[in-house]
């Protein structure tokens, strides 16, 4: 028998009962549907214990690592504190602006120093909040480091509430509230011989650059292909850096793709996702990371799957815009 | 004690093995893939898992009424016997690819067949 803490509730889960049934028995209102581990509606997260193996069946490896589990499959073998997957945004630290400089005409690199260590994996995202309470998600472009510095690539959208504020008003030394890191789009050092295919458009390079560094630092042995796409050459920031990295790292390959009309030498013509899926036609056994424009991400997810990538091996972060209220 | 069909097929793990293969077949079949043009592919895939769990005789809470309601919007879009046959065909070839024994395949197909009138809203 184990004691489960959920928000303000303390409940007992009997040995032969699933956690979901225990919660429903107590009339706690939680989302669920199939009660058989298929639909993932009752996804939850343990904030203190590693959930039972059985309760994590069918989840993505990156979810397992973060102690996500399915309540309908979970027969707890010890006391646990649990939360819903997107429990209200908690701003857990402040980041002090230590640098802000342009990467391209409309993308800036922002570096924040956290005053409390932030636990994250490169490629996850956090929410940042401005003084009037408006907040937005941004992906972390670097790997954890002892200076507690996190890096973002932020695209300035004309009329964009948050991005224009960063561009116009945010100054060195200012402090911004930051949530804990979220998202499943990051590198884990399993099956290191697997091919990695990283496709991003615009500032979608941010999480991919982080994932790439993480994979290289953790000595990934399989081939790693990064395809970065933009309308024009100016949008392909970090071109020189990526190109020379590809020259040094034998298993890393970089393709800079331009979808617009002029394609200077050493750039590839076409959309990054289309170029990638033509380049690697059989994705069986590959791990695929997709970041950036939501339409690109959705379309490529499907195409990568049809070309043989397993659903479990496709990680995506679509940069959805917040609908205007 | 005799194992259920679901256990004989390999349970949860069998569903996991089958779902990618099955869903890939469905999405590439131009006679039926328009029905599956969901916005979120992962949610669709989770539903395919529910479908397979049910067809494999596994634990599920679906009733005939649920099947009727769940496919009613597709019937409006013209879902018919030929589409049903196509899905059943993909189910069969998925199981064949996984080297499932013929007698078990037939049991699965019989479960699928038993839902035909509900799925097609008749
Ligand atoms: C998981 C995730 C990760 C992300 N990571 C990054 C990242 O690393 N880098 C990055 O640059 N972005 C990222 N984004 C996007 C980011 O969160 C913001 O959505 C983006 O910066 C725009 O915010 P904003 O407040 O500047 O623009 P908003 O004020 O939200 O407006 C967005 C744009 O749409 C237009 N718009 C919106 N509604 C209307 C309307 N009704 N009529 C006319 N125009 C409209 C605005 O003019 C503007 O151009 C991410 C998003 C998600 C979900
Ligand atoms: C063989 C018999 C069939 C069975 C047992 C079956 C079963 C199911 C089940 C269990 C679901 C999941 C419902 C949910 O969890 O929300 C589902 C959804 C769905 N089925 Fe079927 N199905 C069958 C045939 C078909 C056919 C022939 C088609 C179309 C060609 C089809 C198209 C769909 C679609 C598109 C969905 C998702 C609907 C949505 O987005 O809400 N099914 N089906």
User: Which position has the higher pLDDT, B42 or B98?
Assistant: B98
Placement of tokens 């959208």 in the chain: A157
Give yes or no for residue B54 CB within 6 A of ligand 2: yes
The predicted-structure confidence for A260-282, as pLDDT tens digits, reads as follows: 888 888 899 999 999 999 999 99
Residue B2 is predicted with a pLDDT of: 63
Would you call B45 and A40 a contact, using CB atoms and an 8 Å cutoff?
no
- From A310's Cα to the closest Cα of chain B, the distance in A is 7
The predicted-structure confidence for A53-66, as pLDDT tens digits, reads as follows: 999 988 888 889 88
Q: Whole-angstrom Cα distance, residue A118 to residue A46?
A: 18
Residue B26 is predicted with a pLDDT of: 93
pTM to 2 decimal places:
0.84
DSSP letter, residue B117: H
pLDDT grade for A23, boundaries at 50, 70 and 90: very high
Would you call B39 and A302 a contact, using CB atoms and an 8 Å cutoff?
no
DSSP letter, residue B33: G
Residues linked to residue A43 through DSSP beta bridges, in sequence order: A70
Q: Whole-angstrom Cα distance, residue B122 to residue B118?
A: 6
Average pLDDT over residues B39-51: 80
Q: What is the CA radius of gyration of chain B?
A: 14
Q: Residue B43 pLDDT > 60, yes or no?
A: yes
Average pLDDT over residues A276-294: 96
**Tokens standing for residue A208:** 């991919």
> Considering only B11-20, B67-76, B108-117, which range has the smallest mean pLDDT?
B11-20
**CATH architecture under which domain A196-321 falls:** 3-Layer(aba) Sandwich (3.40)
Among A107, A138, A140, the mutation site with the greatest number of ligand 1 atoms within 8 A of its Cβ is A138
**The domain spanning residue B15 has which CATH number?**
1.10.490.10
Give the CATH superfamily of A91-179. Answer: Translation factors (2.40.30.10)
Would you call A34 and B20 a contact, using CB atoms and an 8 Å cutoff?
no
pLDDT grade for A81, boundaries at 50, 70 and 90: very high
- C-beta neighbour count of A90 within 10 angstroms: 9
Would you call A306 and B24 a contact, using CB atoms and an 8 Å cutoff?
yes
Q: Which of residues 44-73 of A touch B (CB under 8 A)?
A: 57-58
Q: Whole-angstrom Cα distance, residue B90 to residue B97?
A: 10
Structural domain boundaries, residue B37: 5-119
Average pLDDT over residues A79-105: 88
Contacts of B50 (CB under 8 A, 6+ apart): A34, A38, A39, B60, B62
Tell me how far the alpha carbon of residue A304 lies from the centroid of ligand 1, in angstroms: 26
Tell whether A306 is within 8 A of chain B (Cβ): yes
Q: Chain A residue closest to B16 (CA)?
A: A58
Average pLDDT over residues B32-50: 82
Q: Which of residues 82-111 of B touch A (CB under 8 A)?
A: none
pLDDT grade for B3, boundaries at 50, 70 and 90: confident
Write out chain A in H/E/C secondary structure. CEEEEECCEEEEECCCCCHHHHHHHCCCCCCCCCCCCCCCCCEEEECCCCCCHHHHCCCCHHHHHCCEEEHHHCCCCCCEEEECCCCCCCEEEEEEEEEEEECCCCEEEEEEEECCCCCCCCCCEEEEECCCCCEEEEECCCCCCCCCEEEEEEECCCCCHHHHHHHHCCCCCCEEEEECCECCCCCCCCCCCCCEEEEEEHHHHHHHHHHHHHHHHCCCCCCEEEEEEECCHHHCCCHHHHHHHHHHCCCEEEEEEECCCCCCCCCEECCHHHHHHHHCCCCCCCEEEEEECHHHHHHHHHHHHHCCCCHHHEEEEECCCCCCC
Of A288, A278, A275, A105, residue with least CA distance to A202: A105
Contacts of A73 (CB under 8 A, 6+ apart): A18, A37, A54, A55, A57
Q: With contacts defined as CB-CB under 8 Å, which chain A residues touch B46?
A: 38-40
Residue A223 is predicted with a pLDDT of: 98
Would you call A311 and B20 a contact, using CB atoms and an 8 Å cutoff?
yes
Residue A306 has its nearest CB partner, among B15, B16, B28, at B28
Domain spans of chain A, in order of start: 2-87, 91-179, 196-321
Q: Whole-angstrom Cα distance, residue A310 to residue A283?
A: 8
Average pLDDT over residues A153-171: 96
Residue B49 is predicted with a pLDDT of: 86
Residues with CB under 6 A from ligand 1: A 125, 136-139, 152-155, 157-163, 203, 206, 317, 319-322, 324
Residue A88 is predicted with a pLDDT of: 56
Predicted complex ipTM exceeds 0.90: no
* A2-87 topology per CATH: Ubiquitin-like (UB roll) (3.10.20)
pLDDT grade for B39, boundaries at 50, 70 and 90: low
Q: Chain B residue closest to A318 (CA)?
A: B40
Tell whether B49 is within 8 A of chain A (Cβ): yes
Residue A220 is predicted with a pLDDT of: 97
pLDDT grade for A30, boundaries at 50, 70 and 90: confident
The predicted-structure confidence for B68-80, as pLDDT tens digits, reads as follows: 998 999 999 999 9
Q: Residue A1 pLDDT > 90, yes or no?
A: no
The predicted-structure confidence for A226-250, as pLDDT tens digits, reads as follows: 999 999 999 999 999 999 999 999 9
Q: Which of residues 284-303 of A touch B (CB under 8 A)?
A: 298, 301-302
Of A84, A97, A103, A108, residue with least CA distance to A30: A84
Q: With contacts defined as CB-CB under 8 Å, which chain B residues touch A34?
A: 50, 53, 60-61
Contacts of B43 (CB under 8 A, 6+ apart): none
Residue A37 has its nearest CB partner, among B12, B19, B40, at B12
Q: Whole-angstrom Cα distance, residue A57 to residue B11?
A: 12
**Tokens standing for residue B61:** 């809470």
Backbone angles phi, psi at A316, to 5 degrees: -140, 145
- From A93's Cα to the closest Cα of chain B, the distance in A is 32
Residue A302 has its nearest CB partner, among B41, B53, B60, at B41
Query: Measured in Å, how far apart are chain B's first and last C-alpha atoms?
Result: 38
Percent pLDDT > 70 in chain A is 99
Q: Residue A215 pLDDT > 90, yes or no?
A: yes
Task: Sort A320 into a burial class: Cβ within 10 Å, 0-12 / 13-18 / 19+.
Answer: exposed
The average confidence (pLDDT) of chain A is: 92
Q: Which ligand is nearest to the CA of A122?
A: 1
Average pLDDT over residues B49-65: 86
User: Which position has the higher pLDDT, B49 or A283?
Assistant: A283
- On the CB side of A126, CA atoms within 13 Å amount to 28
Average pLDDT over residues A147-162: 96
Instruction: Report the number of distinct structural domains present in chain B.
Output: 1
Residue B48 is predicted with a pLDDT of: 87
- C-beta neighbour count of A222 within 10 angstroms: 15
């Amino acid at each position: 028998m184990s004691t489960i803490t959920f928000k303000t509730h303390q409940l007992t889960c009997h040995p032969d009962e699933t956690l979901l049934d225990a919660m429903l028995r107590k009339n706690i209102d939680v989302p669920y549907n199939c009660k058989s581990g298929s639909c993932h509606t009752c996804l939850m997260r343990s904030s203190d214990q590693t959930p039972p193996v059985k309760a994590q069946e069918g989840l993505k490896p990156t979810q397992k690592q973060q102690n996500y589990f399915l309540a309908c499959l979970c027969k707890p073998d010890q006391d646990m504190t649990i939360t819903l997957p997107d429990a209200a945004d908690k701003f857990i630290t402040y980041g002090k602006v230590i640098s802000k400089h342009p990467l391209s005409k409309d993308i800036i690199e922002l570096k924040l120093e956290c005053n409390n260590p932030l636990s994250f994996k490169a490629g996850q995202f956090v929410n940042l909040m401005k003084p009037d309470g408006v907040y937005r998600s941004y992906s972390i472009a670097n790997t954890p480091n002892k200076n507690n510095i996190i890096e973002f690539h932020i695209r300035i959208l004309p009329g964009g509430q948050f991005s224009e504020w960063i561009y116009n008003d945010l100054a060195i030394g200012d402090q911004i509230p930051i949530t804990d890191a979220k998202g499943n789009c990051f590198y884990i050092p399993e099956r290191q011989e697997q091919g990695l295919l990283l496709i991003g458009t615009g500032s979608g390079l941010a999480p991919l650059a982080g994932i790439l560094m993480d994979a290289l630092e953790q000595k990934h042995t399989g081939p790693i292909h990064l395809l970065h796409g933009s309308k024009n050459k100016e949008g392909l920031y970090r071109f020189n850096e990526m190109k020379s990295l590809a020259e040094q790292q034998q298993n890393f390959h970089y393709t800079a793709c331009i979808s617009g009309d002029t394609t200077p030498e050493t750039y590839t013509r076409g959309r990054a996702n289309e170029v990638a899926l033509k380049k690697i036609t059989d994705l069986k056994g590959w791990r695929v990371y997709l970041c950036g424009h939501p339409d690109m991400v959705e379309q490529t997810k499907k195409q990568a799957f049809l070309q043989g990538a397993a659903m479990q091996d496709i990680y995506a972060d679509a940069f959805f815009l917040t609908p205007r209220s | 004690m005799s194992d259920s069909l679901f256990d004989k097929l390999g349970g949860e793990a069998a569903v996991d093995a089958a779902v990618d293969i099955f869903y890939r077949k469905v999405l590439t079949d131009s006679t039926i893939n328009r029905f599956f043009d969901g916005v979120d592919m992962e949610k669709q895939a989770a539903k395919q898992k529910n479908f397979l769990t049910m067809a494999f005789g596994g634990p599920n809470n679906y009733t005939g009424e649920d099947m009727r309601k769940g496919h009613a919007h597709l019937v409006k879009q013209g879902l018919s016997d030929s589409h049903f046959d196509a899905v059943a065909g993909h189910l069969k070839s998925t199981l064949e690819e996984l080297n499932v024994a013929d007698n078990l395949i037939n049991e699965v197909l019989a479960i699928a067949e038993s839902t035909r009138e509900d799925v097609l809203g008749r």
